[in-house]
Amino acid sequence: MSGDLILVTGANGYIAGRLIPRLLARGCRVRALARRPERLEGRLWRKDVEVMRADVHQPDGLAAALAGVHTAYYLVHSMASGRGYTRVELEAARLFAAEAERAGVRHIIYLGGLADPNSKNLAPHMRSRIETGETLRAGRVPVTEFRAGVIVGPGSISFEMIRFLTECFPIMPGPNWLRNRAQPVAAVNVIDYLLAALDHPEERGRIHEMGGPETMCYADTMLGYASVRGLKRFLFTLPGIPIWLMARFVDWLTPVPYPIATPLVGGLQSDSVVMNADAHMSYPEVRLVSYRQAVSDSLQALRPERLERVWEGMDLDCIRMKHEGFFIDYRRLQVDAPDEVVYRVFSSLGGRSGWLYANWLWRLRGWLDRLLTSPALHGRRPPLGAVDAADSPAASEPRLLHAGDRVDYYRVDEVEPNHMLRLHSLLHAPGEGWMEWRIEGSVLSQTAFFAPHGLPGFAYWMMLSPLHRIVFRGLIGAIKRRSEGR
């Protein structure tokens, strides 16, 4: 397939973001389709693919996107559009199938939802996923359809719902339908199946149901996460909890917004299990990952360098969000100074130089941690010869930092001279924290990452949030002023 052009729709989405690097690793030529391609700027694979701005609801842009394509991955949905999304999804699928046929596309691979289409309690969201597959198959281009339920991996909507709700609630009340059955599948296995479809042309035109090796109730997905995470959780069900109320809690506590949470929560009202397990025989190269292992792998990825930096493509200078298990505070400013000067300023933070803004608060936090815990954590940067913290950064030599060095109550996690510095907090807190600065093309960005551990972690971040807003805004502003010599 390396010589054929592969189109991936929904390039801003979770599955597409994991699929595209795997396609590139196979040597495939990839065209990524997105309504807002500027949001792909933070993706590491961005420079290696052809990116096109198009909407599956608009025939003009879609025709151009499908030109010359051999295989197209259909990975889009319209839940965020709110009421009437089911009609919109079917119209988009009908248009895509027609345009794909007109463009001479040889194969469509579609990822839909796992549910019994004959169930009386089938939610509109799941029915729409199934009907979208039927609409695509009604065209003349052969379709390989995969159906998946709960996908386990950092960034997956269903997994992030499980993660954030379980982290936050020691005692979790839920509706009776949390006792319905599910068959979670690891995100890596979803990608394995989507890739394997390229190598098995004999499977075109078929429907395959994807599920992991265990069947469990939805409640057990949360308790299983808690067990791997080392959290003690107790769950009980109550009758009569409305979908809209559950969706509001999901919107408030997790990265999943209300318009998407509502149909997803509604989808829990029916079982989501594999009824036809022939995918094993059709794609024997796929080795299924257990639920516990998939959760453990997701927790191992709880580091800033493993994140999809979706916020970097947003046209905003200040973003506070929940993403892949993190609370994130991102800010950026244009700086009228050379990149190496700006780097010199933020790489000199801490130690004798202080923290440029509200230094007494940074010192107080470290002093309190020293008072309440072991003082061994608080190493300091060694003296730097004649360089004085009060000197203009333009007049001083850059301070040499290496991964593992101590900067007050931080450890240097990663450093790229004249470009980036990331510090890992050594302070005792109910979670792990990082501070990162980047300078590129005179654009300074500052990102605070905090991965909460349990309810104390949520409470810690929320209580300090008003102070963080002031301090983080003031710090990046101070770095800008010092860099510009003001």
Most confident by average pLDDT, 49-63, 110-124, 361-375, 409-423: 409-423
pLDDT tens sequence across 317-343: 999 999 999 999 999 999 999 999 999
pTM: 0.88
Calculate the dihedral angle through the C-alpha atoms of 10, 15, 16, 19, rounding to the nearest 10 degrees: -160
Q: Are residues 325 and 206 both part of a single domain?
A: no
Percent of the chain clearing pLDDT 90 (strictly above): 62
The pLDDT of residue 87 is above 90 = no
The pLDDT of residue 299 is above 60 = yes
Calculate the dihedral angle through the C-alpha atoms of 465, 468, 469, 471, rounding to the nearest 10 degrees: 160
DSSP 437: E
The pLDDT of residue 181 is above 90 = yes
Rg (CA), the chain: 25
More confident residue, 362 or 374: 362
pLDDT tens sequence across 448-462: 999 999 999 999 999
Tell me how far apart the alpha carbons of residues 337 and 444 are, in angstroms, rounded to a whole number: 10
Tell me how far apart the alpha carbons of residues 252 and 265 are, in angstroms, rounded to a whole number: 14
Largest CA distance in the chain: 77
Mean pLDDT (whole number) for 102-114: 95
List, as own/partner pairs, every contact residues 352-357 make where C-beta atoms lie below 8 angstroms and the sequence separation is at least 24, other chains included. 352/381, 352/383, 352/389, 353/389, 354/389, 355/475, 356/475, 356/478, 356/479, 356/482, 357/471, 357/474, 357/475, 357/477, 357/478
Q: Are residues 238 and 329 both part of a single domain?
A: no
The pLDDT of residue 376 is above 50 = no
Q: Are residues 296 and 310 both part of a single domain?
A: no
Q: Are residues 174 and 200 both part of a single domain?
A: yes
Q: Are residues 354 and 230 both part of a single domain?
A: no
pLDDT tens sequence across 188-241: 999 999 999 999 999 999 999 999 999 999 999 999 999 999 999 999 888 888
Tell me how far apart the alpha carbons of residues 31 and 25 are, in angstroms, rounded to a whole number: 14
The pLDDT of residue 70 is above 60 = yes
Q: Are residues 195 and 295 both part of a single domain?
A: yes
Q: Are residues 329 and 293 both part of a single domain?
A: no
The pLDDT of residue 85 is above 90 = no
CA distances from 272 to 114, 166, 225, 324, 348 (A): 5, 20, 18, 24, 54
Q: Are residues 291 and 380 both part of a single domain?
A: no
Most confident by average pLDDT, 41-45, 50-54, 60-64: 50-54
| pLDDT at residue 138, as a whole number | 94
Mean pLDDT (whole number) for 467-474: 95
Percent of the chain clearing pLDDT 70 (strictly above): 93
- Contact criterion met (CB below 8 Å) for 187 and 289: no
From 240, 270, 300, give the residue that closes a domain: 300
Give the chain's domain count: 2
The pLDDT of residue 112 is above 80 = yes
Q: Are residues 189 and 271 both part of a single domain?
A: yes
Strand, helix or coil at 11? Answer: coil
Domain that holds residue 252: 5-300
- The runs of H, that is alpha helices, within 107-176 are 124-137, 157-168
Average pLDDT of the chain, as a whole number: 88
What CATH number did the domain enclosing 87 receive?
3.40.50.720
Residue with tokens 């300091």: 380
- Contact criterion met (CB below 8 Å) for 56 and 35: no
Q: 245 falls in which pLDDT band (50, 70, 90)?
A: confident
Given CA atoms 11, 83, 254, 313 in this order, what sign does their dihedral have?
positive
The pLDDT of residue 382 is above 90 = no
Q: Are residues 205 and 317 both part of a single domain?
A: no
The pLDDT of residue 384 is above 70 = no
CA distances from 338 to 114, 394, 444 (A): 53, 9, 11
| pLDDT at residue 377, as a whole number | 45
Mean pLDDT (whole number) for 307-315: 86
From 257, 272, 300, give the residue that closes a domain: 300
Q: Are residues 459 and 313 both part of a single domain?
A: yes
| pLDDT at residue 393, as a whole number | 42
Strand, helix or coil at 393? Answer: helix
| pLDDT at residue 244, as a whole number | 86
Mean pLDDT (whole number) for 109-118: 91
What CATH number did the domain enclosing 420 receive?
3.30.530.20
| pLDDT at residue 125, as a whole number | 80
Tell me how far apart the alpha carbons of residues 480 and 486 are, in angstroms, rounded to a whole number: 9
From 300, 320, 351, give the residue that closes a domain: 300
Residues belonging to the chain: 486
| pLDDT at residue 81, as a whole number | 61
Mean pLDDT (whole number) for 340-367: 88
Q: Are residues 168 and 231 both part of a single domain?
A: yes
| pLDDT at residue 300, as a whole number | 94
Tell me how far apart the alpha carbons of residues 357 and 130 are, in angstroms, rounded to a whole number: 55
Ordered DSSP codes for 57-69: T-HHHHHHHHTT-
The pLDDT of residue 134 is above 70 = yes
Q: 315 falls in which pLDDT band (50, 70, 90)?
A: confident
| pLDDT at residue 175, as a whole number | 83
